Amino acid sequence: MNFNIIRLHHVELHVTDLAKSRDFYVNTLGLIETEADETHIYLRGIEDTNHHCLVLTQADRPSVNHLAYRVRSEADLNQLERLLAGQGLPIRWLERGEETGQGRALRVQDPVGLPVEFFCEMEKAERMLQQFHLHGGAKIKRVDHVNCMVRDVGRGYDWYREHLGFRCSEYTVTGGEDPELWAVWLYRKPSVHDLALTSGRGPRLHHVAFWLDDAKSILDACDVLAARGYAKQIERTPGRHGLSNAFFVYLRDPDGHRIELYTGDYFTDEPDWEPIRWTLDDPQRATFWGAETPASWKTEASPVQDVRTGQLLEVGEPTIRKEKVKHY
């Protein structure tokens, strides 16, 4: 692994009504609109100094176009192409200017079916961090991670760790005397995760998470949502995860895409870091306080696209493998 992946940088979601999406993401959650045209809205968080961290694209049905990671240099993109092509994975280049506000990019369908993009350069945007009088809604600072439901968590874990240099912060196994791997939390930036892979009908995007300052900010965001008529969009009320230690709330946007507002996880960039092991039947794993999650949170997720054709990928049932997470 001779390339440097920095972090999850942005996500592109297809939505069916840009006006409704703008009201939810800009007027209510407070993301900053960098640019828009008839079919796209480009949004960023308060900390972002680049063009976008979320792209909303008009479409006939909701889906996920791609999940994008930033790399350190153009040379990293060339090395990634050699790796991915050598593995026989479907890839596609996007040239500079083909994506608004962005340099050239390499897209790949990863081994578990997720549409992934790698890029290096993006146009700069005005720094809003100290423009306090312009902060509104949930006061989202940046994108933090994505959580994806996949058919084979073990295969995804092996690929991201062995070939892309991701590390594992925490993982979940099934119970019993012969446990099997059920989910992994993987990171490049020094926090709990950029990517979580969980066993389920996939490939699908379970949620995209945005970072807020603190737990009070999440509670304030819920007040804003309720005051603006979005109370029913709060799918899973605020709480603290056992896994990751983070404080959270889960929302559904007008098209059903799941959004997490997230804060309070921890630093992981220690050379002797060892992943934390959870069992699926531990009631404090998902919610430290032990509250049950709603049924929709366990079963519903957004379909993903083929990176070459744009068609939605077929969803299949999961295959669970024996536990084999190593300490990295």
What architecture (CATH level 2) is domain 142-322? Roll (3.10)
Contact 168, 4 (CB under 8 A): no
Residue that the structure tokens 């404080």 belong to: 247
At 328 the pLDDT is 42
Nearest to 68 by CA among 114, 15, 131: 114
Does residue 70 have a pLDDT over 50? yes
Tell me the three-class secondary structure of 133-161, residue by residue. Answer: HHCCCCCCCEEEEEEEEECCHHHHHHHHH
Q: How confident is the model over 216-228, as pLDDT tens digits? A: 999 999 999 999 9
Q: Indicate the pLDDT class of residue 84, thresholds 50, 70 and 90.
A: very high
- What angle (nearest 5°) sits at the alpha carbon of residue 278, between those of residues 273 and 280? 155
CATH fold of 5-132: 2,3-Dihydroxybiphenyl 1,2-Dioxygenase; domain 1 (3.10.180)
Give 249: exposed, middle or buried? Use CB within 10 Å, 0-12, 13-18, 19+: buried
> What's the pTM?
0.96
Nearest to 184 by CA among 170, 202, 163: 170
Residue 233 DSSP symbol: G
Helix (H) or strand (E) holding 44: strand 40-44
Distance CA 307, CA 297 (A): 26
Do 5-132 and 142-322 show the same overall fold? yes
Q: How confident is the model over 157-189, as pLDDT tens digits? A: 999 999 999 999 999 999 877 889 999 999 999
Helix (H) or strand (E) holding 279: strand 276-279
At 3 the pLDDT is 83
Residue 14 CB coordination number (10 Å): 22
Does residue 151 have a pLDDT over 90? yes
Q: How confident is the model over 262-306, as pLDDT tens digits? A: 999 999 999 998 999 999 999 899 999 988 899 999 999 999 999
Q: How confident is the model over 131-145, as pLDDT tens digits? A: 999 999 999 999 999
User: Where exactly are the structural domains of the chain?
Assistant: 5-132, 142-322
Residue 179 CB coordination number (10 Å): 16
